[in-house]
Amino acid sequence: MGAQTPNGFSLDASGKRIVVDPVTRIEGHLRVEVNVDEHNVIRNAVSTGTMWRGIEVILKGRDPRDAWAFTERICGVCTGTHALTSVRAVENALGISIPENANTIRNLMQLALQVHDHLVHFYHLHALDWVDVVSALKADPKATSILAQSISRWPMSSPGYFKDLQTRLAKFVESGQLGPFKNGYWGHPAYKLPPEANLLAVAHYLEALDFQKEIVKIHTIYGGKNPHPNWLVGGVPCSINVDGTGAVGAINIERLNLVSSVIDRTLEFVEQVYLPDVVAIAGFYKDWLYGGGLSSKSVMSYGDIPEYANDYTDKSLLLPRGVILNGNLKEIHEIDLNAPDQVQEFVAHSWYKYPDETVGLHPYDGVTEPNYQLGPKSKGSKTDIQSLDESAKYSWIKSPRWKGNAVEVGPLARYIIGYAQGKAEFKDPTDKLLTDLGLPLTALFSTLGRTAARALECQWAAQKMRYFQDKLLGSIKAGNLATANVEKWDPATWPKETRGVGFTEAPRGALGHWIRIKDAKIDNYQCVVPTTWNGSPRDPKGNIGAFEASLLDTPVADPNQPLEIIRTLHSFDPCLACSTHVMSPDGQEMAKVTVR
């Protein structure tokens, strides 16, 4: 029954099938089915995006200057990234350049998003895959305090603080109301932390809940609100006025001070809480290096955070750009998002229709036409799926490929590429982390590596926020106030027909929007989002995507409690372009697990 995929993985679907649907603590709807062998090791994996909202169809015929607001609503959490990608695509199509200050402010917003997303993802969506909340009740508060002070100088670390927290947690558990902590396989053998480390992590889970309300204020100041701040084709909507009449209603010194103080607190929290926690937790999981999947073979990053306005070349982009194929770290392939043979989307296994499904389409020529049908080997009915048939169509996600290759995107991909390019900003912290943990470079290609790269990147982003805020202050000091270029605001100045592409590195990975404009209206709009790369179903050649690859060969201690599956999927920070979460009075619902 075994089969070899062209991208080097062996699949065997003959064993017992486990279905996890919905996978919780992610953004959106994800279903996963795996087959395990007689030792409960995963030998086949099938990942399914279970929702389609049709934003691209809705955009047709609209004003391109409005597109950011529509695409921003693709996701409730990477709020802003889609909007930024969209205004870049429109600017690219229309040849609009933006002022330096606008580039700086956009970078600040994008970096704030990276930090916020990484932090919230780690503590609130992912940490409980490593941290056993119930075990924290057994911790000695004094020992917890000693542990906390040994890894960080974060002040909230006294024995009394941890004792108090433990008492509150105990009441919570006794009352049977675990609240946000309901959602876990407490006591599962795959949890490895001592009680003190668990208690410490629970404390920081709660502190991070508070802290995340601070960092979004950067979006509120420059963009008016969060989630879904406002953007503008040609620059940013906020004006700068630090001297004259009406300065009080613009970006003025009070606003700039507020941003600066938020950045200071962000750096503190990331460097004194998040990073030390990840290193400490990783120390207990050094033996659990599963989940690498595609990361040791093929990774891709478009790059982002342009140092110079309107310069999207490698030398300007501070986040690395390029593709690594087949694990060859010595060769970084260049990306051309306009080249018809590079980025292509396939739908052979997706619930969409193409005229010829053996070929892929470049996003400029992309088609998004739904076609929901189940394969002959699926079980259940169209409205009550028991198990899917992966030899047929099985997902609402398309399969994007780079020159035919499935690639992983995200923080780990960015760090691997930055590392391979020898960029000290990425290589040095990675080497230091590996040395501290006593692990070889190959350990990076794992679930743990993905989680660690996200933490390192969070620190990088926080430091860059400081850098760009200082840059903005310097620019204002030099008398440079411009934040928008309105030369081509009026559609009458636009060409009759044009097209363009915009890209960013979303927290979860490479994001691109391709737009065609005709008679001042959107003629075609296609988004290829990070979770489409990572969560893609198989392509016509049978290459599997990053989610599916990452689950293979992982042993599952208890098929009824697939903590290992959830842990690895969460390490990607999956975002299925929709944010419906289900919560009952007693906390979040568990993933529903079915074993057949």
Partner 1 sequence: MNEDGMYCIDGGRPFVERLTEMASDAMAVVAWGACASWGCVQAAKPNPTHAVPIDKVIRNKPIVKVPGCPPIAEVMTGVITYVTMFGRLPDLDRQGRPKMFYSQRIHDKCYRRPHFDAGQFVEEWDDEGARKGFCLYKMGCKGPTTYNACSTTRWNGGVSFPIQSGHGCIGCSEDGFWDKGSFYDRLTGINAFGIERNADQIGLAAAGIVVAGIAVHAGITAVRQLTTKPKDTIKTIASEPTDKNAG
Is 367 an interacting residue with respect to partner 1 (CB under 8 A)?
A: no
- 525 φ, ψ (degrees, to nearest 5): -140, 125
Is 17 an interacting residue with respect to partner 1 (CB under 8 A)?
A: no
Is 489 an interacting residue with respect to partner 1 (CB under 8 A)?
A: yes
Q: Of 26 and 528, which CB lies nearer to partner 1 in the complex structure? A: 26
Query: In the bound complex, what is the minimum distance in angstroms from residue 69's beta carbon to partner 1?
Result: 6
Question: CA Rg, the chain, in Å?
Answer: 24
Find the binder of partner 1 among 66, 271, 307, 314 (CB under 8 A).
66
Q: Quick one: tokens of 513?
A: 């929007």
Is 518 an interacting residue with respect to partner 1 (CB under 8 A)?
A: no
Is 248 an interacting residue with respect to partner 1 (CB under 8 A)?
A: yes
Instruction: Compute CA distances 485 → 91, 127, 203, 230, whole Å.
Output: 11, 43, 47, 16
Query: In the bound complex, what is the minimum distance in angstroms from residue 169's beta carbon to partner 1?
Result: 16
Q: Of 232 and 335, which CB lies nearer to partner 1 in the complex structure? A: 232
The C-alpha atoms of residue 436 and residue 457 are separated, in whole angstroms, by 17
In sequence order, what are the beta bridge partners of 352?
A: 370
Instruction: Compute CA distances 288 → 284, 558, 570, whole Å.
Output: 9, 16, 15
Find the binder of partner 1 among 38, 39, 54, 440 (CB under 8 A).
54
The C-alpha atoms of residue 561 and residue 185 are separated, in whole angstroms, by 7
The C-alpha atoms of residue 307 and residue 315 are separated, in whole angstroms, by 9
Find the binder of partner 1 among 12, 40, 41, 124 (CB under 8 A).
124
Is 552 an interacting residue with respect to partner 1 (CB under 8 A)?
A: no
Q: Quick one: tokens of 3?
A: 């089969």
196 labeled part of a ligand binding site: no
Q: Quick one: tokens of 206?
A: 């709660």
Q: Quick one: tokens of 17?
A: 């099938």
- Three-class SS of residue 320? coil
Is 58 an interacting residue with respect to partner 1 (CB under 8 A)?
A: yes
Is 380 an interacting residue with respect to partner 1 (CB under 8 A)?
A: yes
Query: In the bound complex, what is the minimum distance in angstroms from residue 189's beta carbon to partner 1?
Result: 26
Q: Of 401 and 567, which CB lies nearer to partner 1 in the complex structure? A: 567
Is 481 an interacting residue with respect to partner 1 (CB under 8 A)?
A: yes
75 labeled part of a ligand binding site: yes
Residues 6+ apart with CB under 8 A from 356: none
Strands 497-506 and 317-319: unpaired
458 labeled part of a ligand binding site: no
Find the binder of partner 1 among 171, 474, 580, 596 (CB under 8 A).
580
Q: Of 69 and 289, which CB lies nearer to partner 1 in the complex structure? A: 69
SS3 of 365-423: the string is HCCCCECCCCCCCCEEECCEEEECCCCCCCECCCEEEECCECCECCHHHHHHHHHHCCC
Is 579 an interacting residue with respect to partner 1 (CB under 8 A)?
A: yes
Q: Of 243 and 336, which CB lies nearer to partner 1 in the complex structure? A: 243
Query: In the bound complex, what is the minimum distance in angstroms from residue 56's beta carbon to partner 1?
Result: 9
Q: Of 54 and 440, which CB lies nearer to partner 1 in the complex structure? A: 54
Sites for partner 1 among residues 134-163 (CB under 8 A)? none
232 and 87 Cβ atoms separated by less than 8 Å: yes
Q: Quick one: tokens of 223?
A: 């963009």
Is 171 an interacting residue with respect to partner 1 (CB under 8 A)?
A: no
Sites for partner 1 among residues 334-353 (CB under 8 A)? none
Q: Of 124 and 466, which CB lies nearer to partner 1 in the complex structure? A: 124
- 305 φ, ψ (degrees, to nearest 5): 60, 70
238 labeled part of a ligand binding site: no
Query: In the bound complex, what is the minimum distance in angstroms from residue 176's beta carbon to partner 1?
Result: 11
Sites for partner 1 among residues 208-247 (CB under 8 A)? 209, 212-213, 216-217, 219-230, 232, 234-241, 244-247
First CA to last CA distance, the chain: 18
Find the binder of partner 1 among 156, 250, 325, 329 (CB under 8 A).
250
The C-alpha atoms of residue 460 and residue 347 are separated, in whole angstroms, by 36
Q: Of 318 and 465, which CB lies nearer to partner 1 in the complex structure? A: 465
Torsion sign across C-alpha atoms 387, 10, 7, 417:
positive
x/- map, 257-296, partner 1, by CB under 8 A? -x--------------------------------------
Q: Of 8 and 76, which CB lies nearer to partner 1 in the complex structure? A: 76
Is 324 an interacting residue with respect to partner 1 (CB under 8 A)?
A: no
Query: In the bound complex, what is the minimum distance in angstroms from residue 289's beta carbon to partner 1?
Result: 28
Find the binder of partner 1 among 17, 65, 118, 570 (CB under 8 A).
65
x/- map, 419-448, partner 1, by CB under 8 A? ------------------------------
The C-alpha atoms of residue 380 and residue 363 are separated, in whole angstroms, by 34
Is 595 an interacting residue with respect to partner 1 (CB under 8 A)?
A: no
The angle subtended at Cα 444 by Cα 413 and Cα 48, nearest 5°, is 55
The C-alpha atoms of residue 484 and residue 482 are separated, in whole angstroms, by 6
Find the binder of partner 1 among 12, 40, 41, 73 (CB under 8 A).
73
581 labeled part of a ligand binding site: yes
556 and 150 Cβ atoms separated by less than 8 Å: no
Q: Of 128 and 407, which CB lies nearer to partner 1 in the complex structure? A: 128
Is 383 an interacting residue with respect to partner 1 (CB under 8 A)?
A: yes
Find the binder of partner 1 among 9, 11, 18, 29 (CB under 8 A).
29
Residues 6+ apart with CB under 8 A from 188: 132, 557, 558, 561, 563
Q: Residue 242, exposed/middle/buried by CB under 10 A (0-12, 13-18, 19+)?
A: middle
In sequence order, what are the beta bridge partners of 251?
A: 240
Q: Of 89 and 300, which CB lies nearer to partner 1 in the complex structure? A: 89
Find the binder of partner 1 among 268, 482, 541, 590 (CB under 8 A).
482
| Closest to 392 in 3D by CA, of 46, 12, 49 | 46
The C-alpha atoms of residue 431 and residue 439 are separated, in whole angstroms, by 9
Q: Of 310 and 421, which CB lies nearer to partner 1 in the complex structure? A: 310
- Three-class SS of residue 229? coil
Side chain identity, residue 493: T
578 labeled part of a ligand binding site: yes
Which residues line the annotated binding site? 56, 75, 78, 575, 578, 581
Which residues line the annotated binding site for Fe cation? 78, 578
Which residues line the annotated binding site for Mg(2+)? 56, 581
Which residues line the annotated binding site for Ni(2+)? 75, 78, 575
